Structure 1
Amino acid sequence: MRYEESVIEGRNAVFEAIRSGKTIDKLFVLKGSDDGPIRTIVSKAKKADTVISYVTKEQLDRMSQTGKHQGVIAYTAAYEYAEIEDILEAAKEKGEDPFIILLDGIEDPHNLGAIIRTAHQAGAHGIIIPKRRAAGLTATVAKTSAGAVNYLPVARVTNLSATIEELKKEGLWFVCADMDGELMYNLDLKGPIGLVIGSEGEGVGKLVKEKCDFVAKIPMFGQVDSLNASVAAGILAYEIVRQRMS
């Protein structure tokens, strides 16, 4: 189990990490810094489609553990990401229709970890998360998943809408969770399926929601607006399990 999440500081160390092919979750660069070494690091990071944030010296100083960041800090993933093909292959090996959970804007690492844990127990074949505005596979996520991250492939993509379009070509259809939808018990959730869960605050984004074939509503009777994202994921995942077993 790899639960170590590395913070890499300094130009040479960050350059070598990127050059060696390490998965960089996020790269933080001093705003306005444009000398040769920084340009090289940024160029290589862009080729690897790394998420880059330009921040102030004060922000870098706060993030720094060594005090010697030299204008650049990288966070590496605590765990390796899978490819979408790995997820589809996992379903094929089990002789099952693919069951994939896609997360749109889940930024809380505890929620992501809890969803990975539930998805694994519900028999999902993998999880897909976006690269931007979302939690990555940090040490907190790995620990909260209670080890499930060792068994469930997690893929990270640049564009969730485009990924849905590609997976539709593989025969999957998609259902997303939203209060404006059809009661989940009235939907046929069998067959090759992608379940899309959005953040508590924003829900599923408009572009992603438009790509979904169905919108499912979880019955709620309380006075608060919504359920925690990991709880919503669990309820819908197990409705899919119930229908698959019936």
Structure 2
Amino acid sequence: MVIYGVNPIMEALRADYPILKVYVDERFKHREILSLLKKKRIKTVKTGRKKLSEVSRTDKHQGIVALVSPVEPKSFDDLVERTIATGGYLLFLDRVEDPHNLGAIFRSADAFGAAGIVIPKDRSVTITDTVVKASTGAVFYVPFAIVNSFRQSLFEFKEKGGWLIGLEAGGKDISRYSFPYPVGLIAGSEGKGISKPVKKLLDDIVTIPMKGHVNSLNVSNAVAIGLYLLSVQK
């Protein structure tokens, strides 16, 4: 997998993530990154911006591109056990398809201490270089699981003692809601929200009150608010 940009590569270095090779612009001067590359003995190739753009398939590489091992998902059972044992909160994403949204959600999950993220195998974006870039490297810190049956994963979480709370319009005011723990927060896709089969498993639905003129928030923004309130109450 290819990642690019100062922040994602810096976080990969800090997390000791397996980096195979790094290409840097001949004029690249970021001392901390160059020092870490040398310290960790990672093969570094100085080259021109044209080569960097070819490898990264973008001109927004900020003068540095890295080849890394693919980010591996964790076991769903491990994420559930961790959440239940700590009385924490696990994020379930029902068919989020935009890589920039997923990357931003990883950032929020890292910032607000989510136990992990659960992603369905089908009809959902996977971990791509765009997701890594949008997450500014948070994908290297937040564990995630990819499940074959999203609905079954929710059922199993509930069976093991977790509560399922959906984040959707038409629910209870999230600012006044007292979350039960351990809890799974479920957010739906950008256009359709939480699917009907999933809604049948929910214990409750919470809604972010709106005072403006638009009728909804971007899913990544809504998730950020939800995770923040979960972290405050925890």
Which TM-score applies when normalising by structure 2? 0.68
Question: Which residue matches 1:80?
Answer: 72
> 1:190, 1:243 within 8 Å by CA — same for their partners in 2?
no
Match of 2:215 among 219, 225, 229: 225
Secondary structure of the 2:104 match is helix
CA RMSD, Structure 1 to Structure 2 (Å): 2.1
2: CA distance, partners of 1:96 / 1:234? 21
Secondary structure of the 2:91 match is strand
- The Cα of 1:146 is off from its aligned counterpart by 1.3
Question: Which residue matches 1:24?
Answer: none
Unaligned stretches of 5+ residues in structure 1: 5-76
Secondary structure of the 1:211 match is coil
Question: Which residue matches 2:29?
Answer: none
Structure of greater relative contact order (alpha carbons < 8 Å, 6+ residues apart): 2
> 1:98, 1:172 within 8 Å by CA — same for their partners in 2?
no
Unaligned stretches of 5+ residues in structure 2: 4-68
1: CA distance, partners of 2:165 / 2:122? 22
Aligned amino acid, residue 227 of structure 1:
L
Deviates more, 1:82-91 or 1:188-197: 82-91
* Identity across the alignment (%): 39
Asked if 1:192 is matched to 2:182, the reply is yes
Match of 1:215 among 205, 209, 216: 205
Aligned amino acid, residue 132 of structure 2:
A
How many residues in Structure 1 have an aligned counterpart in Structure 2?
Answer: 171
Per-residue CA deviations over 1:42-63 (Å, capped at 9, x if unaligned) read xxxxxxxxxxxxxxxxxxxxxx
- The Cα of 1:86 is off from its aligned counterpart by 2.7
Aligned amino acid, residue 207 of structure 1:
P
- Counterpart mapping for 1:1-246 below 5 A: 3=2, 78-91=70-83, 96-244=86-234
- The Cα of 1:209 is off from its aligned counterpart by 1.3
Secondary structure of the 2:214 match is coil
> 1:81, 1:155 within 8 Å by CA — same for their partners in 2?
yes
- The Cα of 1:100 is off from its aligned counterpart by 0.5
1: CA distance, partners of 2:136 / 2:78? 21
Which TM-score applies when normalising by structure 1? 0.65
- The Cα of 1:87 is off from its aligned counterpart by 1.6
- The Cα of 1:90 is off from its aligned counterpart by 4.2
1: CA distance, partners of 2:146 / 2:230? 23
Per-residue CA deviations over 1:139-195 (Å, capped at 9, x if unaligned) read 111121111111111111122111111011221101111111011123221410000
Q: CA 1:3 to 1:169, structure 2 compared with 1: closer, same or farther past 3 Å?
A: farther
> 2:165, 2:186 within 8 Å by CA — same for their partners in 1?
yes
1: CA distance, partners of 2:152 / 2:115? 20
> 1:173, 1:213 within 8 Å by CA — same for their partners in 2?
yes
Secondary structure of the 2:186 match is strand
Could you list the runs of 4 or more consecutive aligned residues of structure 1 that deviate by over 2 angstroms after TM superposition?
88-92
